[in-house]
Amino acid sequence: MRPIVGDEIKGRHLDSRILKRFLPFVRPYRRLAVTSLVLLPFISLVRIVPPLLIKKAIDENILPGDLTGLLPIAGLLIAILCVEGLLVFGQSWCVQVVGQYIMADLRRISFAKLMRLPRSWYDWQPSGRILTRLTSDIEHVGDLFGSGIVSAIGDVATLVMIFIIMLTINVPLSLVAFAVVPLMIAVIVSLRRPMRRVMRQLRARQATLNAFISERTSGIAEVQIFSQQQRCDDEFDTLQDSYRHSALNWVTLEALFYASVHIFGSLAVAAILWKGGGEVIQGAATFGTLVAFIEYSRKFFMPLTDLASKFSILQTSNASLERIFDLLDQKDEPQGAINEAPGNGRVEFDRVSFAYQTDEPVLQQVSFTLDAGQRVALVGETGSGKSTLTQLLLGFYAADQGQVRLNGHDVTTMDKAVLRRMVGWVSQEPFLFSGNVRDNLDPQNELDDSALLDAIEATGAGQVVERLGGLGGTLVEHGKNLSSGERQLLCLARAQILNPPVIILDEATSHLDGDSEELVYAGMRTVAGGRTTLMIVHHLRLAAEADHIVVLHQGQVCEQGTHKQLLAADGRYAHLWRIQQLEARSEYQQEQG
Ligand SMILES: Nc1ncnc2c1ncn2[C@@H]1O[C@H](COP(=O)(O)OP(=O)(O)OP(=O)(O)O)[C@@H](O)[C@H]1O
């Protein structure tokens, strides 16, 4: 599985390929988008009128001393400025609304994609990075539409109009005013490359910082247990310093950029003053023309600055869009066509081999069978591949060789929802969502309250639910307001409620005290009752109750049989059994005195 593109910015400004993919997202809101585009030339148009009015007022009223025409011009100026205000409001409202809709759509489909990606994809992803994808990256795409493309089109329209009107009024003066433009473009071009580099660095460092915060806060218990606070602070400072370093570089370059543009703007005004002043004195131009030119040059350099600064927005947005599309391009969890697998829950592992990463085999030629209703215990040292086998049965990963079959069907050919409706799972570290007890225990909302309470009672979770305040009781994220034994009991109740023909129980008794352990064991026995059960077992006392025991060693089945048969064989299982018996005896003796 290919990992998602990192947070480095790879592309140049706006890649046409990416833009082409982005356009369908605008299509549903095309009316608003077109309205915002249609308003742009009108805005540019009303922006070029005021200097003309000022020119007229100076040349035809102020200088000749004709006061009567001034009032209508002032009134017209106010009216035009009001129209400009209204047009700008309408245009920016349309553009922002479209941007918000596009962001909401992108967020929705990206989240939906995340919900459908295979487990193996998540093995590669720092959680902070996934969050960045759905937050900052999508915000940047909003900028692409709002402050990027549309306003760039507006800037170009304004520039063209001002350019034409200046040439229409006075060609020599226009050429003087535009003389600085090539110089300005040269400076912008020379600053663009370092600005792009620093922007890339800034985004990458921000993503690293996000991933660090996310990882350390989710592992807060380990941070505190191992007194890692200071070390985390130091690491955070290092990351933060490099982020700040890039941010300062960015601020410096940006300030340099705006300052140079400002200087060129002032140079243009000075040149107009020098050339235009001479023309006014010689009578070749009117005083109103000079004032209008100064006003136009200010209006000309504003969108030019704006346009140049859009490069960084376009580039950031382009990179964000590229990463979002990369996420959307990831393949969904593969689905099989079989959506019915009638039978009573027979499971076969048939010469199954599997590796998470090429050349690092985790399972090799594993074969054993669970007959319908049979209870099979999986035993083996840590890392021997027990959980991996259960993940294959649940369809989270596919075997590289061999087959895992349920009721005779290869699980990879089955529809995943159907498969997981038939195979329940109580994991070693059970997960509960924030919300109420009912929604957690009956996610499909299939049973009424009394049936739910019966199942809860049967698995020994009655007291836990009662303490939480019944089915409407509140659970916090991860079920953190419960002990691990209580969480386990609730998850056993959930499995009982879903009532699958096959159940996987991952024993999590290593961190439970004696009483809780007995409660959880009893719950496990209830859930296992009458179902095909694959039980990962650490305490062999539980294995001894199973109908069949499979012992894994380094990803291979090293022996299998009943408890009695394996003890008689005096192999690995018998060895583990003796060790655990000795441990239990010495614990008992210590307790006695
Ligand atoms: N998502 C993964 N990506 C890569 N390697 C993995 C992944 N999950 C497990 N492994 C590796 O596969 C091997 C088997 O792991 P598995 O979790 O199946 O062992 P286990 O027998 O269940 O161990 P335990 O009893 O400690 O839970 C281990 O070496 C582990 O490092």
Residue nearest to atom 19 of ligand 1 (CA): 383
Residue nearest to atom 18 of ligand 1 (CA): 385
CA 535 to centroid of ligand 1, rounded, Å: 16
- CA-to-CA dists, residue 47 to 29, 77, 125, angstroms: 27, 11, 50
Q: Coil, strand or helix: which one is 329?
A: helix
Q: Coil, strand or helix: which one is 558?
A: strand
In angstroms, the CA 172 to CA 182 distance is: 17
pLDDT in tens, the chain (593 residues): 333 444 554 555 557 788 888 889 999 999 999 999 999 889 988 988 999 999 999 999 888 888 888 889 999 999 999 999 999 999 999 999 999 999 999 999 999 999 999 988 988 787 777 888 888 889 888 887 777 778 888 888 888 888 899 899 888 888 988 888 888 888 888 887 888 788 778 878 888 888 888 888 888 877 887 788 899 999 999 999 999 999 999 899 888 888 888 888 888 889 999 999 988 898 888 999 999 999 888 888 878 777 777 766 776 787 788 889 999 999 999 888 888 888 889 999 999 999 998 888 999 999 999 999 999 999 999 899 999 999 999 999 999 999 999 999 999 999 999 999 999 999 888 888 888 999 999 988 888 899 999 999 999 999 999 999 999 998 887 787 888 888 889 999 999 998 899 999 987 655 566 667 788 888 888 888 889 999 998 888 889 989 999 999 999 999 999 999 999 999 999 999 998 888 777 766 776 66
Q: Is the ipTM of this complex over 0.95?
A: yes
223: phi > 0 → left, psi -120 to 50 → alpha, else beta; which? Answer: alpha
Residue nearest to atom 3 of ligand 1 (CA): 356
Residue 170 burial (CB count, 10 A): 22
Residue-wise pLDDT for 349-397, tens only, equals 999 999 998 888 999 999 999 999 999 999 999 899 999 999 999 999 9
Residue 556, token pair as written in the block: 């291979």
Within 57-179, residue ranges assigned H as helices are: 70-116, 119-122, 127-132, 138-143, 150-169, 171-178
In angstroms, the CA 264 to CA 281 distance is: 25
Pocket lining: 390 vs ligand 1, CB cutoff 6 Å: no
Pocket lining: 64 vs ligand 1, CB cutoff 6 Å: no
Q: Which atom of ligand 1 is nearest to the CA of 390?
A: 18
* Domains defined for the chain, CATH in brackets: 16-329 (1.20.1560.10), 347-592 (3.40.50.300)
In angstroms, the CA 388 to CA 371 distance is: 20
Residue nearest to atom 9 of ligand 1 (CA): 388
CA 382 to centroid of ligand 1, rounded, Å: 8
In angstroms, the CA 327 to CA 113 distance is: 8
Q: Which atom of ligand 1 is nearest to the CA of 388?
A: 18
Which is it for strands 532-536 and 502-506: parallel, antiparallel or unpaired? Answer: parallel
Q: For a substitution probing ligand 1, which of 357, 387, 556 has the most ligand atoms within 8 Å of its CB?
A: 387
Pocket lining: 123 vs ligand 1, CB cutoff 6 Å: yes
CA 356 to centroid of ligand 1, rounded, Å: 9
Residue nearest to atom 6 of ligand 1 (CA): 356
Which is it for strands 548-553 and 375-380: parallel, antiparallel or unpaired? Answer: parallel
CA 315 to centroid of ligand 1, rounded, Å: 41
Residue 312 confidence (pLDDT): 66
CA 429 to centroid of ligand 1, rounded, Å: 14
